[in-house]
Amino acid sequence: MAEKATTTEECKVNTKAQVNNAGAAGGAVYGLGFIGALVYFIQHATSFWNGVLGILKALVWPALLVYQVLGLLKL
């Protein structure tokens, strides 16, 4: 059986496909985190405007999390 030699172009295509697929898991984690944060903030809202603020907080929860963690670590 003869082996097919891979060309540089085929390697580039394979590498690009691997890089594109690597980001898919991060999007899923962010999406699940967004839904969880949205449910949490909406459940704890005491008024309509607190609910609106909860929606905005759910969008930026990773930034809030990193800010709090860095504050605890004093970095």
pLDDT at 49 over 90: yes
Q: Regarding predicted confidence, which is higher, 51 or 13? A: 51
Q: What is the pTM of this model?
A: 0.57
pLDDT at 26 over 80: no
CA distance 70 to 3: 53
Residue 46: DSSP 8-state:
S
> Are the CB atoms for 58 and 38 separated by under 8 Å?
yes
Show the DSSP H helices in 1-75 as ranges.
Answer: 8-22, 24-43, 48-59, 61-73
